[in-house]
Structure 1
């Protein structure tokens, strides 16, 4: 409780600040309800994120389902060496890296551009309709998206009808390895760009309208206001999202790549997550597949640290941590 003590001059009141608890447990006891609110999230994170890390031990053992994790023979880095020296390593690793890197570089600026354009729409009804149109693809299942791709890009599909009319022969989009990355990345941008722009739209809502009014009076056009007012407001958010995106560059989604795979496009569609699935669940080599997955996670952590360091240097000390 705050105390108000009157001095000799009754017009002067000295307010003593509330004393802070001496020990952390006193603060926890006083604010126990706040800790109860976050307890379910903490428990779920521990159970589903940290407890499964115990299974990573399999990567260093010759795992046998009969002997169990602790009973299996310890082999150290044997599985990692097998993967790094296997003939498939370079192809799979580069396919994963290229698919993720191109997706990040091409997909990162699109939500920013959409947010800047949406911010210039002044009529609320029109803006809501445009947002509904842009956000809708995010709620379409990946299975449905891939099914749509196979239908539209099939040799007898509508896209090839137009191509056949112009060139005389269809293009085998879904079986030609040359087109896999372009189809994967462009369809992913179409599906996620609108939804990803939400955070940028929310950040632009906090920009003081008086800045735009003053810039308009000074003769600045829309493009100049975007560059000198809106983009600086988005800069910290852009840095964080880019760091997170770069840190997860090897954590590309499994479902879409696996669904788009055909026997003909494997040279570009076989990536680390699909390789782990085939080796681990289909072939039953759990130790080797765990080693490949752990290698993938280590690369992600290294990229996260490196990109965060670089961005902090270029962004005046502003980074993820």
Structure 2
């Protein structure tokens, strides 16, 4: 039973890790991994001294903080709200409706955003002009870019994120709620003293895993939303890797950038896990 899962990780996760070798080479495809010239940390030094490094780091960091602060708590809040719904039919309908956006591709999500927020025929700007307000350039404005990106993530992934929390809530002993009601605890007291402690370990584990992807802003969404007017706040490590590695053929350099992201993610996971253990939680290992 373990074999399919092991094969998946071996083929798609561990085998490709040999590719990080080219971060330390001047990789030439026709020479291969072992025929290309070794240059050590040259590409890392070039990246860290590049004028765009701090711009990329700042943009990626701010988007990551937005996701942690605004997106991560949302599935927890929605799960707690759904847990309080007593009509199963209504609960299932709501769950289905909020799950659906997860299966919509980012191309479609960005297309919907264009339909709503475009200055030419966009629904939102049409409403603004109908009441005498000037059109707002949501899609071209650097000030609105991060808000748009975070809002899209919240709309698309919040419902899917509730699955794990609802599963954790399903395992809470109903007797605890009955005992709390007998003692006079209301809904808020039950949620604070029973529901939240019951899913605390799940929240901590998912937060640690989320921190591990702190610098992963998501290539497809950012790539589709970035344009010359908002590039100064929208260019992140993921899009930079594409533009340098694929468009310009700097395979070794872009691999070094990707490896930097991975190392930062690993360090953040280790730090967050140790902090969680010091606070009395189990962590992920």
Superposed pair shares fold, TM > 0.5: yes
| Larger displacement relative to structure 2 (163-172 or 44-53) | 163-172
Match of 1:55 among 15, 19, 26: 19
Deviation at 1:302, TM superposition (A): 0.7
Match of 1:67 among 15, 24, 31: 31
Match of residue 44 from structure 1: 8
What is the TM-score when the length of structure 1 is the normalising length? 0.86
What is the TM-score when the length of structure 2 is the normalising length? 0.96
Match of residue 163 from structure 2: 198
Mapped to 1, the partners of 2:101 and 2:29 lie a distance apart of 42
Deviation at 1:164, TM superposition (A): 2.6
Match of residue 178 from structure 1: 143
Deviation at 1:167, TM superposition (A): 5.3
Q: Quick check: which one's helix share is greater? A: 2
In the alignment, structure 1 residue 146 sits paired with structure 2 residue 110: yes
Mapped to 1, the partners of 2:203 and 2:133 lie a distance apart of 46
Match of residue 33 from structure 1: none
Query: Deviation digits for residues 108-149 of structure 1, max 9, x if unmatched?
Result: 111111111111111111111111111111111111001000
Match of residue 5 from structure 1: none
Mapped to 1, the partners of 2:245 and 2:76 lie a distance apart of 39
Mapped to 2, the partners of 1:68 and 1:137 lie a distance apart of 42
Give secondary structure in 1 for the equivalent of 2:140. coil
Deviation at 1:166, TM superposition (A): 4.3
Deviation at 1:198, TM superposition (A): 1.1
Question: Do the aligned residues in 1 keep the contact of 2:244 with 2:254 (CA within 8 Å)?
Answer: yes
Match of residue 243 from structure 2: 278
Deviation at 1:40, TM superposition (A): 2.0
Matches for 1:24-173 after TM superposition, within 5 Å: 37-155=1-119, 156-166=121-131, 168-173=133-138
Mapped to 2, the partners of 1:276 and 1:165 lie a distance apart of 43
Match of residue 8 from structure 1: none
Mapped to 2, the partners of 1:87 and 1:266 lie a distance apart of 15
Match of 1:298 among 248, 252, 263: 263
Task: Give the paired residue count.
Answer: 284
Give secondary structure in 2 for the equivalent of 1:64. coil
Unaligned runs of 5+ residues in structure 1 are: 1-36
Deviation at 1:100, TM superposition (A): 1.4
Question: Do the aligned residues in 1 keep the contact of 2:110 with 2:221 (CA within 8 Å)?
Answer: yes
Mapped to 2, the partners of 1:84 and 1:166 lie a distance apart of 49
Mapped to 2, the partners of 1:167 and 1:38 lie a distance apart of 63
Mapped to 1, the partners of 2:177 and 2:5 lie a distance apart of 41
Mapped to 1, the partners of 2:50 and 2:28 lie a distance apart of 22
Deviation at 1:66, TM superposition (A): 2.9
Give secondary structure in 2 for the equivalent of 1:284. coil
- Provide runs of 4+ in structure 1 moved above 4 Å: none
Match of residue 178 from structure 2: 213
Match of residue 260 from structure 1: 225
Unaligned runs of 5+ residues in structure 2 are: none
Mapped to 2, the partners of 1:303 and 1:246 lie a distance apart of 6
Query: Deviation digits for residues 275-318 of structure 1, max 9, x if unmatched?
Result: 0011011100111111111111111111111111112212x142
Mapped to 2, the partners of 1:59 and 1:277 lie a distance apart of 15
